[in-house]
Every structure is written in structure tokens, then in C-alpha cells.
Amino acid sequence: MYKNVYLWFIITYLIHPSHTLCIIQDNGLCFFTITCQNPSVIAAEPFCNHGDMYITLTIHNSTVEEITPNFFASKLDPWIRIFNAIGYNWTVVHPFAFSNFKNVLYMDISDNKINDIGPAFKDLKELDSLNLSRNRIEDIGPNTFYISNNVNRLYLLDLSYNRLTYLPDKAFQHLNNLRKLYLQGNQITVIENVWPKYLRSLDYLNLCCNNMSSLNTPLKYMKKLKEINLSTNKIEHLNISELISLETIDLSHNKIKHFRFDYFDKIPHFMKLDLSYNKITKLKREKAKRKVSNDINTPLRSVKLDFKHNHISYIDKNFFLTFNYIRYLILRSNKITILHPGTFKHVRVLRFLDISSNTLKLDDQTFRGLKKTEIIDISKNNIFVLKAAFFKGCVRLTKIVAIRNPIKSVNLREFKNTVPKLAKILLTPVSDSSYLQFINELLYIILEFLIDVVLTFVLFLLLFGILFLFIYIGLYRRIICYYILKCARSVMARNRRLK
């Protein structure tokens, strides 16, 4: 009788030169976990009378460097569903090395030293997920991931943190069912033009942390791509107009100066754009006009735009024609001085605005149009005066963050009448100058205290040294003898006079 939590071990020592130890752990309901150096030496097989077994095989203490065909072949092959071999010295994986695992679903061969891998996964028609990350793979052959002509279920492939420098045309030609592809942390500089046409089912692509300066591949084939990560590269320009299913794109930490924001006009399900840490100077549409939908039944999305740490100094009044459904806008650490009247006139549902660490000058028109905004962050803008009139029309505003500004006073009654839902105004307790003065005074007090402590300690050492010197040399004895002798002489002189 099987129990879900009941564990038992079968330890078999075989008549084998290596005397390999294998541990079979019963997880209940015909699920087993086998930890073994070489499963081919297993003599005792787990028993299950409920149907097919589901075995997780974990290779332990592997000392080999080359994996040859059928190296791990055993009587349990038909029931191996998960294969793990993590953190060993494997360098070469020969063709058909794992062809004996006909029913394996998931394989993790990460964190090895593989630099040469052939078509090792042929005939693994049930394989869903393959992890080859953190190896030393430099090249992908046209048949490396060849599994079958007719059936290929592989939907996740992880090649991150290897040594790939380019992706050839036919690198993924057999992966027509692939959904998620991880290529971050390589050294990719060139991507051939043809490879995307083999990835028509791809919905996630991670090319972060490579050396790409552009992505000139025809992305039109990847109609189902929803999320792409191109951060931490050297990209200067990019055309995403053909990614009609795109929802999230990360372009942070690149060298982009100009970007065609009107591309998003044709991307209906877009939700997040991260362009932080680039070199953008203006937020402007190439096309001045766009039809804005005012249909109240249009579903609203939680859209986020992140432009922090750029060089933005100008925002065009038509920029938000593209992003009129934006909810989170981050403009922190730019060079924005003025927001022209009408900047936010096309914004419908903005909830959070972060425009801190700029040189913003506020007036009565700065935040006009932000009727649904709840939080505005204007910290570190060198603002001296904060008036309620600056936020007139922000009827849903509940919080203003204005810390690290030299604001001396705020008329709360004025804010209460102008912004009825406002609950918090966060200010620095002291202005920048007072803050610096306070720090200087504190440092001066600490310095005086330290000087007093040092002087006291030096004086104590000096007195102690003098006392020790007197005791050591014996001067105190001479002084006492001198006074005793003097007193004796005076007494003797007095007695002579009396006689």
C-alpha cells in the first residue's frame, strides 16, 4: 500500500568494478526519484501496480568528460521522465547520447563544461524542456536540436550564459513548436536574417546581456512573440512594428537615441516598455496624428513606461496619443525643465507619475489633464514653492512626494480646498541648506567631543608617566628626607637657643 509522504530506500550493491551506489526513493503513486552515478548498474527495479512509473533520474558524482551513445542506458529508460545532471565536468556530448530516454520530458544539463554538442537528442519525441545553460557552448549546428521529422514537442530551450557569438540561419530550424528561448549572458554580436522564420510559435525571447548593436532580422515571422528582453546590449536602433502580439519589451541599458514610438499604434496588447538607461533626448511621435478611441467599453490595461536615466528634455504634446492608456510613467533622472501646456491632454488613466531628479519648474498648467492620477513624485527638483494651484484638476490625487526640495512651508488649507482627496504630502524635514548646516553642526560637535577625549587621554598618560617617573627614580624619597632633615635642624637650633 502506497502513501504520499512515505519514503523508503532500496540500496543495491552490484557485482560491478565500481561498486556504484544507487538510491531509489518512492514518492508514492508510482513516482520515484533515483540518485545514481551510473543507472546501467541498477539490479533491483522499483515496483508499481498502478500503471506506468514516473521516474526522476539525478546523476550523482559523475567523473566522465565525454557522454557517448547509450552511456546511461538501463532497464528503467522507458520510465525516465526527468533527467538531471548539473555541475560536472562534461565537455563533449556525442550524437545520440540520450537517445535511450524515449519518454523523457525534462532534461537539465546545466552548469557543466560542454563545448561540443552534437544531435544528442534525436528521437526524444516527448521532450518538453531542455536546459543547457552555464556551459561553454560556442556553436550550434544545424542538427544540434534535431529530434524528429514529424514530431517535436520542445517548447523551452535554455542556452543562457554560454559562449555563443552568433546565431546561424538554421540553428533552430527543427524547433517549430518552441515557445520560450533563453539566450541571455552570451557574447552574441550577429544574428542571421533567416532564423526567426523557424520560430513562428515563439512567445518569449531573452537576448539580454550580449554584444548586439542592432537587430536587423525580419521579426515578421514571430507573430506570437509576447515578450522580448534586449537589455544590456549596444543597440542603437530597432524596428518592432511587425511584432503585433508584443506585450512587454525591455530595451534598458542600451545606446538608443531615437525610437519610433508610433510603432505601438499597431500593437494592440502592448503593456510594458522599458527604455531606461539609454540616450533618448525627446519623447516625440513621428506621425503627428492618430485616431484616439473614446469608447468607454474599451478594456484598460496596466501599461507601464520606464524612461529613467535618459537625457530627456522635451515631451511633445502628441506623444501620449500612442500611450493614452498608460497607467505608470517613470521619468526619473532626466533633464526635464518644463512640461508644456497640454502635455497630458491625451492621457486617460495615468495612476502614477514619477518625475523626480529633474530640474522641473512648476506652474498652473504642469499637471493639467491628470484627472485620474493618484501619486505624483516630484522629489529632488530644486523646487522652492509648492502651491495647490499646481495640482488643480487632479481630482483623484492622494499623495505628493516632494522630498529633497528646498520647500520651507506648505499651505495645507489651500491644498485641502483644491485637492480634496489628498492624504499625504511628503517633504524633507529640513531644506537642503538647513540640512547641510545641521550635518556640519553635528560633525563639529562630534569633532569637539573627539578632541576632548583625545586631550583627556593624553593628559592622563602624561600625569601617569610623571608619577611613574617619580616613583621609579625615587625622587619622592629625597624630597621626604630633605623635609625631615630640615625639620630636625630647626628643632636642634631651637633647643640650643633655649639652653
**Residues 62-93 pLDDT 10s:** 888 899 887 888 888 888 999 999 999 999 99
What are the tens digits of pLDDT across the range 186-234?
999 878 777 778 888 999 999 999 999 888 777 778 889 999 999 999 9
What are the tens digits of pLDDT across the range 483-493?
777 787 777 77
Range of the domain at 457: 432-474
Residue 428 neighbours by CB distance under 10 Å: 16
Given a cut of 60, whether residue 6 has pLDDT beyond it is no
What are the tens digits of pLDDT across the range 254-279?
999 999 998 898 898 899 999 999 99
Residue 468 in domain: yes
Residue 414 in domain: no
Greater model confidence, 239 or 46: 239
Which of 209-214's residues contact partners 24+ apart within 8 Å by CB, and which partners?
Answer: 209/184, 209/185, 209/233, 210/183, 210/184, 210/185, 210/186, 211/187, 212/188, 213/189, 213/255, 214/238
Given a cut of 70, whether residue 20 has pLDDT beyond it is no
Say what the pTM is.
0.79
Residue 405 in domain: no
**Chain centre to alpha carbon of residue 244:** 26
- In 6-136, where do the E strands start and end? 9-12, 22-28, 31-36, 54-59, 66-67, 80-84, 92-93, 106-108, 116-117, 129-131
Question: Edge-to-edge, what's the strand order for the sheet holding 116-117?
Answer: 66-67, 92-93, 116-117
Give, as one character, the DSSP assignment of residue 322: T
Residue 186 in domain: no
Residue 441 in domain: yes
Given a cut of 50, whether residue 12 has pLDDT beyond it is no
Residue 135 in domain: no
pLDDT at 251: 97
Residue 461 in domain: yes
What is the dihedral sign for C-alpha 347, 352, 354, 359? positive
Residue 449 in domain: yes
Counting the structural domains of the chain, the total is: 1
